[in-house]
Structure 1
Amino acid sequence: MTRRAPTTSTEQVKGSVKEAIGKLTGDVRVESEGRRQKGEAESPQGAAKRPPGAGPRKD
């Protein structure tokens, strides 16, 4: 059985959910991880160009 790569919209939804859970629970790490995941889904090449540890983009 072959695995399909997750689509961009799926990754955006997962990032949105993580961000919302982080906000509700006050967990900054989960919130920022969700923002990062959403940003990578919106612009996969833009995320690859940023140096590691640069943090989430503030558009």
Structure 2
Amino acid sequence: MNVHELNMKFLQMRNYSPENVNELLDFTKKAYIQNDICINVYRQLVRELEAQGAEVPESF
């Protein structure tokens, strides 16, 4: 799976396009936690999304 396929899956599941790459990163994490994607795919997607500017929010 690549970011384009992830974007299409997001659109299909949520019925709207993600506003930014951070929203896709959250979607990726949820998919991994729910065992929809394996660790290798998760790591690949996170690397690609971070390369596009996705960031994990800083804790308070």
TM-score (structure 1 length as normaliser): 0.37
Q: Which has the higher contact order (CA 8 A, sep 6+)?
A: 2
Q: Which has the larger radius of gyration?
A: 1
